Amino acid sequence: MKNLLIIPMLFMCSMVIGQSKKIIGKPIKIENFEVAQNDFPKMMTWYEAKKACYALGSRWRLPTKNELILLYINEDEIGGFVSSYYWSSAEYDSSYACYQSFDFGRQGNYDKNYKCYVRAVRAF
């Protein structure tokens, strides 16, 4: 019975690792952090975004507000951004978190249950 459980678990692990490689791709260095080459394939709530970045492993996380500004400033160099909103790790309060607009460049706060795009970063 134990052997039957191992096979589905190995399959699920390989799917997560495969998705991680697609998202991380070839990381781009900006100042003192790296940016994943690609967004996650779907928009996520803030809670889902935090979990998804953590699941990438190796210290991947949501960017801070200041890191998002740098991503916006360097969006042509980095590439692959959608003209929409991206989640930040910063919380405004228990219900709202900060976002960065990649169409108008502004930052603001959204309900954490709203869905935005996600680009993972990590410090080196």
Query: From first to last of its 124 residues, what are the pLDDT tens digits of the chain?
Result: 555 444 444 333 434 456 789 999 999 999 999 999 999 999 999 999 999 999 999 999 999 999 999 999 999 999 999 999 999 999 999 999 999 999 999 999 999 999 999 999 999 8
Q: What is the CATH number of the domain that holds 84?
A: 3.10.100.10
Residue 25, pLDDT score: 97
Question: Number of folded domains in the chain?
Answer: 1
Residue 85, pLDDT score: 98
Cα 95 to Cα 109: distance, rounded to the nearest angstrom: 10
Q: What is the pTM of this model?
A: 0.84
Residue 18, pLDDT score: 64
- Among residues 114, 124, 123, 2, the alpha carbon closest in space to that of 48 is found at 114
- Among residues 32, 20, 47, 45, the alpha carbon closest in space to that of 120 is found at 20
Residue 124, pLDDT score: 85
Count CB atoms within 10 A of the CB of residue 113.
Answer: 11
Structural domain including 38 reads: 2-123
Residue 3, pLDDT score: 53
